[in-house]
Structure 1
């Protein structure tokens, strides 16, 4: 009889349907590794997938969450990239090793439509994992696959950020705080916008040089221009959507870059054509990245000893509370620590 393990799953859409169940412990097939999961970080996307699939068609029962850190405890036939005892992280977009994907249909994402990581053990193709950073705990490392890699792609991989440039980072969620740390480590000047003075102060402690309270200063782009002597920012990370895009275009230097990452205020982008024409800006959608880029990012995280910002950790029995925390907003990341009592 198979050994049993604990696993979270939903039998239908909706966070109310999350259940912790006993399930058979998987065995690795050829080309797969069996990972003892030690931590899973949650993204806002995970809440949306549970609620309605987020455009993915889920097969029920479905296990949510894509971002995992753990240790290899068994390997299937033909495995060459990892051995028992190796510490690994999951990747989000499967089969995307490098370059541009041919079609997204060939590269489904983990945590929807592919079943996710909220289980004590997962069997996964070795190609879908990378080696964990040397200098981070499993709880810290679990935050990297989506949030950190998205910030890396926006600023470093695609944005070619270099020292002396100015970056505007909107908000203080997981992607935003990784962007603050990566940009500061690259020698850039970081301006953070937030509705909280307390969060701005914490972001400055992480490496930002200025903060703008967007509640007190709705036209925050004017403050960016003032802080840069009228020049504007080289990069703006657009996290809100809606009409905020127009302010981002007015905050960016002529010919600068606006990376579309979030949709916290609207799932639409609204602006008149004139701010876009006037800015001559590049507007680029950023949606995580390939495995090779994640490996590059991990080297920088180790080199600069970047420490992910974790707002709270929850135990395996507290997953409902963790999802609720993500929904109400977090300063940084929310993590399920499988070793937490």
Structure 2
């Protein structure tokens, strides 16, 4: 078996069949699809089992609630040389039917493709400055986690995952995929970027990262501190980790913190005074964050919290328009 596709499935009756069929499991006997139902209360279980009866390479499994639990179950039972992760409302793409040829011949430990968000292409191939240097790649991943540090859109060697005893942290509610990816790439000797789009991500208002959660700050802090621990033995990534902290901070603000905007400016000020954020803001030079995308961080760095809050609120409005 060449490829195991692992799909966590939770209350996804409207999209799960599309996701399964996007893997081309019906067309390629080298593909198996492991669909892990993690606590669904709709017709998800029924639909997966109906599909599995049509093809022995569609595997139905169950886990406790949570994407990490589901992915870990998939890793445990995967039979193929390579694995990839697919969310239930997204689609796997096979440009020019070249995926099988690519995976058969690949000598690398990780293969990273371009992907599509709604109708926009994210061209990681062109964005990546040095494609043959793992240290440079990891730095760029840390400094731009929203583009690079998704667990999907990549192919992993199952032997390397098992050799490193890697699993998704079941203690993390946010950024668990980024944390897993960091530990994986630290084990890689070779990473390959390809020009083709291999994943179609659906931007959804039901996404976990777009729902307000009063525990969000605490959960993100747990993830950031875990990544810091993962990188403790790698001083070469210290500055890039500061970028990672600030990029995660931006994500928190736009997708959670300012979704409910009452009295947030004073709380933003308090958050910026936390050690891990204050240290990152102080360490990053102005020229490295003086871009439109990072402008709120400039205001936070110089304690102009009202200005930062205003931009974050505007970006929440813009994001809401994109998903309508």
TM-score > 0.5 by shorter chain: no
Q: Which has the higher contact order (CA 8 A, sep 6+)?
A: 1
Q: In proportion to residue count, which structure has more strand?
A: 1
Q: In proportion to residue count, which structure has more helix?
A: 2
